[in-house]
Structure 1
């Protein structure tokens, strides 16, 4: 069994595809030394049948749930959709209802937060996929990449204000409903993995400035942030200054090139780049590893030990 991971939590995205019984999925995570989990958006009501008794008995804690929760098969309300920014009023109403439902489950399980992918600037096709292919085949500085990037960023910048307004409206309603219920649950809007998705760090700041006292903050996903920095969307080290006071949770993983959900330091072999996120991890109320199935238990253990060592050095240096 892995060493006790204390306050750190672990997402079920790591092993959900290996299990049909929820309790076995949670037990495997507990074997790594985690006492808390994030229940991700693929957790179904069937899996919850055997997870909920574990929560009730105190065998596992829940740090967070990932909207939409439990699993909703309709891609309109999936992880890559307009969701809280839908132009269609009925669809947006449904997205709000689903986020409130996720918050209800979070409250029921004693979780601190709901992670949500708030929306996007819509495109007729997956321009992010095309850009990533050009990035890999021709490089960031190629004419093909720059041309398509400029096309994407032009549309993104011209329309993002409209969708940020809608997302803000939706979050305002969600927070009012959560407050009316008396639930102590925070909504974390997550930094995303596709370049047309909302929010960038600076867009998140605009949302927070509007919702100053609402229980809404940033869910900083570092692997996604690394990918977006490499593609040219924002600069983590510079832009994190604008949002560090509103970070409510983090997804701890790193990207190797444009492939994400790897163990920090271990899979990239880079001993320094990830260090920029250490102050955010240290201060974050909720800290969740979000790793892919390819990450082995020994790699997870080694990555966590490296991370703890670096955080200890950071704390000692700060004294």
Structure 2
């Protein structure tokens, strides 16, 4: 049994593929010492049938629920979608309805937040995949990378305002509905893992400025932030200052190169880069580890101990 992790939570994305029964998935996470979980978007109604009794008995707490929840097989409403920015009004309304449904579950389980991938600037192919391939084969300073990067950026920048406006409209509607229902749930818009997806930290700031006082904030995913920094989209250390007071939750994981969901400090062997996120970790109301299946219980324990040691050094 791992040491008690206190207020830290753990995402079911780590072990969901290993389990057909929800309660055994949760028990494996409890074995690591976590008292809270984030139920991710692959959790099905069937898995929930054995998880809900555990929540009701107080055997596990739910920190957050990841939209779209429970699992929706339609990729239009999946994790890599235009979602809250759809041009098609019927689709956008369905995306809003599904997010309200996720918030209803969060409220029922006593979770503080819903994590949402709000949208993207659509491309007719996965340009991010292509860029990452060139990044690995030729490097980010290669002429091939820079040429395609500029092409991506020009389209992204010319259309981002339009999609951001639609995402903002959707969030406004969602926040009004949540307020009308009296739910104490925040919507966290997540920093993303593909360069054409939204928001950057600055885009997020413009949404929060527009929706002042609404229950919406940033879900800061550190691994994704590291990837986007390496690819050239934004600078975490520079931009985080603007949004640090708007953070409603975090995904704790680290990126090795452009591969994410690794244990901080342990898999990269870098003992300093991740330190820039420590002030955000300290202040975030909801703190969730989002790790891949390859991370072992021993590595998770070691990483958490390193993180706690770093945080306590800051207090001295």
* Same fold by TM-score greater than 0.5: yes
Q: SS where residue 140 of structure 1 aligns?
A: coil
Matches within 5 A, 1:204-215: 204-215=204-215
Q: SS where residue 239 of structure 2 aligns?
A: helix
* Alignment partner of 1:90 is 2:90: yes
For normalisation by structure 2, the TM-score amounts to 1.00
Task: Tell me the number of residue pairs that the alignment of Structure 1 and Structure 2 aligns.
Answer: 316
* 1:178 matched residue in structure 2: 178
* Alignment partner of 1:26 is 2:26: yes
* 2:142 matched residue in structure 1: 142
* Alignment partner of 1:38 is 2:38: yes
Q: How far, CA to CA, are the matches of 1:37 and 1:274 in structure 2?
A: 23
Please, which runs of 5 or more residues in structure 2 have no aligned partner?
none
Matches within 5 A, 1:74-89: 74-89=74-89
Q: How far, CA to CA, are the matches of 1:218 and 1:118 in structure 2?
A: 11
* 1:195 matched residue in structure 2: 195
* 2:292 matched residue in structure 1: 292
Q: How far, CA to CA, are the matches of 1:116 and 1:229 in structure 2?
A: 21
Q: SS where residue 72 of structure 1 aligns?
A: coil
Please, which runs of 5 or more residues in structure 1 have no aligned partner?
none
Shift of 1:132: 0.2
- Residues 231-271 of structure 1, C-alpha deviations (whole Å, 9 max, x = no match): 00000000000100100000000000000000000000000
* 1:103 matched residue in structure 2: 103
Q: How far, CA to CA, are the matches of 1:173 and 1:313 in structure 2?
A: 43
Q: Runs ≥4 in structure 1, deviation > 2 angstroms?
A: none
Matches within 5 A, 1:182-261: 182-261=182-261
Q: How far, CA to CA, are the matches of 1:51 and 1:265 in structure 2?
A: 32
Shift of 1:315: 1.6
CA RMSD of the aligned region, Å? 0.3
Q: How far, CA to CA, are the matches of 1:86 and 1:315 in structure 2?
A: 45
Q: SS where residue 55 of structure 2 aligns?
A: helix
Q: How far, CA to CA, are the matches of 1:180 and 1:208 in structure 2?
A: 20
For normalisation by structure 1, the TM-score amounts to 0.99
Q: How far, CA to CA, are the matches of 1:260 and 1:205 in structure 2?
A: 24
Q: How far, CA to CA, are the matches of 2:96 and 2:302 in structure 1?
A: 40
Shift of 1:115: 0.1
